[in-house]
């Protein structure tokens, strides 16, 4: 009955085909859980009911997501929602428990080893903490130059190559013989960027890459990301909890809650017409500099433990619109407008 959220059968297919381009990376029903596999003794103990099976954390639960060439996809969620695990799966650091990752339309697992290695090299990751992600005992030049040297990507002098990488990330090559502790936080993040770009990737996974930086340095690094995107035609998966940053840099945004994607839409659309109650709550609580001296109206409760997620829709214990159906049945991600998908039973009720 709500005219602003038309549910049409044809928009579901148009969202994937609208760009007319195959996605660079596609996740197909990815699930990932953490925990130890029981050994023989443990399995016996469990089968004789002498022990309980060890708890497994379901970090990701059936996520399908496509990133098209040249776009910036923002991935937003609170801590513990699985966004970093998803980023690591995309970057090839973790392999998913279930589901498949496709690179340029081909299943990674089905690729011959040499092609798979090549594909993995095309996806690089930039980490949150520039203090922990650089080896403190290696010089900046070695950190940046090692991977391209090992993979045989350098023709000619390694020193000149490293200088180029430094300049591209906005660093003075004269500093390349310093150790990480001799750089400031912003400079360290630039070393991390230079290291990732040195192997000529097409796809960057940025996991909270500006979260640890001061506001003025954050602006410098975000500008660098945008410049590099244009110059090198990069595609990004930009993982962040900061909606302001995501709104600024992303073309499309996916919102994650407890291992599932709950909403996915073009950035402008999601900030103007958020459909899922969780997205709406998140947007309402982002402190903005424009709102002075206003009360905070918080959503109740906290992110539930992924060890024992709530039944049905994971958000229902905190949702102001929860219905009996939400407790029993997990909503599917369905199109609510062109390119806009949301996983909420309310949309069925409205249709």
Partner 1 sequence: MNATVLEVRDLRTHFGQAKAVDGVSFSVARGDVLGLVGESGSGKSVTGFSIIGLVDPPGTIVGGQIVFDGRDITRSSREEMRALRGRRMAMIFQDPMMTLNPVLRIDTQMIEAVQAHENVSRMDARARARDALGMVGIPSPDERLQAYPHQFSGGMRQRVVIAIALLHRPDFIIADEPTTALDVTIQAQILAEMQKLVAQNNTSLIWITHDLAVVSRLADRIAVMYAGRIVESGPVSDVLARPLHPYTAGLIDSVPSRNRRGERLRQIPGMAPSVARLPAGCAFAPRCARADAVCAQAVPLLTAGPREHRCVHPLPELRA
Residue recorded with tokens 């930009």? 238
Q: Which is nearer to partner 1, 12 or 280 (CB)?
A: 280
Nearer to partner 1, 4 or 292 (CB): 292
Min dist CB 180 to partner 1, Å, is: 16
Select from 265, 277, 262, 247 the least CA-distant residue to 340: 265
> 35: exposed, middle or buried (C-beta count within 10 Å: 0-12, 13-18, 19+)?
middle
By C-alpha distance, which of 194, 207, 192 is closest to 91? 207
Q: Which is nearer to partner 1, 218 or 275 (CB)?
A: 218
Coil, strand, or helix at residue 243?
Answer: helix
281: phi then psi, degrees, rounded to nearest 5: -65, -45
Site for partner 1 in 308-347 (CB under 8 A): none
**Contact pick of 299, 322, 338, 350 for partner 1 (by CB under 8 A):** 299
Which position among 4, 49, 297, 320 is part of the footprint of partner 1 (CB under 8 A)?
Answer: 297
Q: Per-residue x/- mask for partner 1, residues 156 to 195, rule CB under 8 A? A: ----------------------------xxx---------
Q: How far is the CB of 206 from partner 1 (least distance, A)?
A: 14
303 binds partner 1 (CB under 8 A): yes
Determine the number of helices (DSSP H) and then strands (DSSP E) in the chain.
13, 12
Q: Is 216 in the site for partner 1 (CB under 8 A)?
A: yes
Kindly tell me which of 7 and 217 has the beta carbon lying closer to partner 1. 217
Q: Does 217 bind partner 1 (CB under 8 A)?
A: yes
Burial class (CB in 10 A: 0-12, 13-18, 19+), 350: middle
Q: Which of 262, 273, 274, 271 is nearest to 315 (CA)?
A: 262
Minimum CB–partner distance for residue 291 and partner 1 (Å): 6
Among 79, 112, 136, 174, binds partner 1 (CB under 8 A): 79
What is the full DSSP assignment across 73-112?
A: EEEE--TTSSHHHHHHHHTTSS--SEEEEEETTEEGGGS-
- Residue 47 or 223: which CB sits closer to partner 1? 223
Among 49, 137, 231, 294, binds partner 1 (CB under 8 A): 294
Structure tokens at 330: 């997990």
Query: How near is the Cβ of 194 to partner 1 at its closest, in Å?
Result: 17
Q: Binding partner 1 by CB under 8 A: which of 117, 244, 329, 348?
A: 244
Rounded to 5°, the CA angle 162-123-233 comes to 75
Catalog residues that contact partner 1 under the rule CB under 8 A: 78-79, 184-186, 214-220, 222-223, 226-227, 241, 243-245, 247-249, 267-268, 281-282, 285-299, 302-303
């Amino acid at each position: 009955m709500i005219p602003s959220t038309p549910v049409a059968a044809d928009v579901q297919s148009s969202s994937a085909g609208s760009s007319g381009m195959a996605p660079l990376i596609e996740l197909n029903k990815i699930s990932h859980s953490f925990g130890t596999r029981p050994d023989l003794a443990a399995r016996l103990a469990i089968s004789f009911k002498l022990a309980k099976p060890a708890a497994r954390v379901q970090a990701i639960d059936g996520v399908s997501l496509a990133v098209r060439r040249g776009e910036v996809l923002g991935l937003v969620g609170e801590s513990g929602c699985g966004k970093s695990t998803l980023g690591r799966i995309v970057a090839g650091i973790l392999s998913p428990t279930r589901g498949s990752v496709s690179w340029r339309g081909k299943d990674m697992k089905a690729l011959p080893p040499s092609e798979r290695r090549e594909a993995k090299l095309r996806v690089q990751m930039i980490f949150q903490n520039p203090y922990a992600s650089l080896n403190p005992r290696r010089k900046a030049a070695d950190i940046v130059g090692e991977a391209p040297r090992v993979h045989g990507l350098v023709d000619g002098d390694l020193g000149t190559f490293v200088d180029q990488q430094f300049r591209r990330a906005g660093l003075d090559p004269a500093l390349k013989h310093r150790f990480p502790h001799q750089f400031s936080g912003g400079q360290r993040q630039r070393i991390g960027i230079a290291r990732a770009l040195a192997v000529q990737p097409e796809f960057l996974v940025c996991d909270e890459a500006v979260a640890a930086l001061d506001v003025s340095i954050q602006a410098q690094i975000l500008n660098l990301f945008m410049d590099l995107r244009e110059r090198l035609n990069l595609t990004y998966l930009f993982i962040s909890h900061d909606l302001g940053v995501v709104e600024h840099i992303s073309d499309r945004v996916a919102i994650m809650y407890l291992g599932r994607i709950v909403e996915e839409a073009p950035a402008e659309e999601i900030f103007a017409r958020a459909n899922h109650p969780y997205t709406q709550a998140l947007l309402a609580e982002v402190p903005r500099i424009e709102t002075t001296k206003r009360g905070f109206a918080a959503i109740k409760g906290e992110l539930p433990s992924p060890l024992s997620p709530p039944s049905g829709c994971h958000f229902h214990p905190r949702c102001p619109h929860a219905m009996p159906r939400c407790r029993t049945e997990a909503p599917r991600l369905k199109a609510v407008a062109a390119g806009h998908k949301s996983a909420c039973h309310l949309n069925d009720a409205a249709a």
